[in-house]
Structure 1
Amino acid sequence: MPTDIEEFERALAECVTIAGRTMPGSTMISVALCTDDGIRTAARSHARAELLDGLQSAIKQGPVLDAIDTGQRVTTGDLAADSRWPRFTDESAQVRGVYCEPLESEGTLLGVLTLYSGRAGPFADETLIVMSLTAAHIGVLFRTSLDAARMREVAAQLKEALTTRAIIDQALGIVMAQRRCTAQRAFEILRHVSQDKNVKLHQIAASIVEKVSGEPPQRSRFEEPPQYIARRRT
């Protein structure tokens, strides 16, 4: 089953592919994401775009890094005439134009969407629009993936809480029968034992159930709802 990261990066690849189809043949697109160790190319239209990202990371210089450092768009219409990144310029002779669009989500810088061009000169308005829309779409993809991951985490915590509660309820029934007391009193007994032994309440409950029944407590099963595929009516 694919992870949230894998799904996000697959969506990134599709996004870059779609954007690349609208660009001239001399252009390459990459998406470099920020990591603890620098940047990592998560999607690219051409293998060389990933190499160019990696080159900047290695020499600690280039428009991609400037876009990350400033959080601002960085662009050059003629790399050969631009003095900002001499080492990068020397080692990427076939690149003339570079356009870097920071990727953000909820105020957090995710990385940079970069367009490398083999032609000098200003970028066409249509190209700038596509890059801007692509960057915005990537931000939406990230938020959607993050929300999905959070929902799965909450669901997992809820399932565990419900399962734990079921075990505690089994133990409460045993204590009520043995002590002939109310559910409230049985819960207080379990809580005091938990505090005295510095052991979690559900663990105390599980040990009681196992001691009485001779078997580990049965964990309730909470299944995911079935996935239905809507069929078109003919």
Structure 2
Amino acid sequence: MAAATPEGPGWESLPDPQDLVFDSTDVEDFLAAVTHEFMRDIDGDLRGISWAVTFFRPGSVRTAAAGSAAARAADEEQCSFADGPVLESLRAGDFVHVADVARDRRWPGYANVAADHGVRSLLSTPIMAGAGWSAALSLYASMPHSFTSEDITQMRRYVRQVARSLRMVVRVAERAEAGAQLAVAQSSMVLMDLAVTVLTSDYGLGHEAALQYLRTIARHTNQGLRETAMNIVAASRPGPAAPGQENAGVGGLISAKPPGRNEGPYKTGSTA
């Protein structure tokens, strides 16, 4: 009989697929590569323009990639404020243009800090938003009034392409996670079955009593059901043992060895 579906402390869960995208260095490398092409198309280096991509999720904001140390510093400063152009672009779902930080009065706190980093104008736009996370691109220029309508048009084209690529990455990660979750569940069920077999054959426990005993050990040791089952299987000693030494390793998982059929809460006629 198969063991019941595992529940309890320590049962492993894999990262959310969007967390994998959020934390992946491969995604950072991808963003750097495609944005480099976009910057080449608008002659960003010649015009003193750099860039940064910011990832947002509840309680966490980080600059995922940047074209220069100055752009990264300016972006991280922007993320440290409660409001700013990049956050406004995410709320509005469209680009936000600051033609001259010295004259713009919408975010005076950040404008002063941006000027200290050599930023005189900037352009922010959302790339995409998913369940619980979002991404945005910001362009930082060293001169006021640096951005043209053609820059905005090309920027929108660029973010559409990046959004499609990121969605594909999320879908692939979701499929990979589903397969990994299935593999973990299957291996965990096998371990549970083996551990229950050890407890029933070596100690005469019933199936439900053995499951209850597994859960009790998991609670007392804070190891979780999977690790507990693995330890019981590993500690089981095949073949005959010396009198009084049967499965001493299993009994060592907690202070007392598993009760026999007629002992404790598992004595004949009682329920687990």
TM-score (norm 1): 0.65
Structure 1 residues 168 and 98: CA distance shift in structure 2, 3 A: closer
1:18-33, aligned counterparts within 5 Å?
18-24=37-43, 25-26=46-47, 27-33=49-55
- Which blocks of at least 5 consecutive residues in structure 1 are unaligned? 175-188, 216-234
From 134, 139, 143, give the equivalent of 1:110: 134
Contact 2:127 2:160 in 1 (8 A): yes
Distance apart, 1:30 and its partner CA = 0.9
TM-score (norm 2): 0.57
1:14-93, aligned counterparts within 5 Å?
14-24=33-43, 25-26=46-47, 27-37=49-59, 39-93=61-115
Q: Which residue of 2 aligns with 1:98?
A: 122
Q: Name the SS for the 1:31 alignment partner.
A: strand
1:174-213, aligned counterparts within 5 Å?
191-197=207-213, 199=215, 203=229, 207=233, 210=236, 212=238
Distance 1:70 1:135 in 2: 15
1:120-159, aligned counterparts within 5 Å?
120-121=144-145, 123-159=147-183
Number of aligned positions between the proteins? 204
Contact 1:170 1:209 in 2 (8 A): no
Give the RMSD, CA atoms, in angstroms.
4.0
Distance apart, 1:115 and its partner CA = 1.3
- Which blocks of at least 5 consecutive residues in structure 2 are unaligned? 1-19, 199-204, 216-224, 241-246, 248-272
- Seq. identity, %: 22
Task: Please identify runs of 4+ aligned residues in structure 1 that moved more than 6 A.
Answer: 168-174
Distance 2:236 2:145 in 1: 76
Distance apart, 1:100 and its partner CA = 0.8
Structure 1 residues 210 and 91: CA distance shift in structure 2, 3 A: closer
Structure 1 residues 203 and 15: CA distance shift in structure 2, 3 A: same
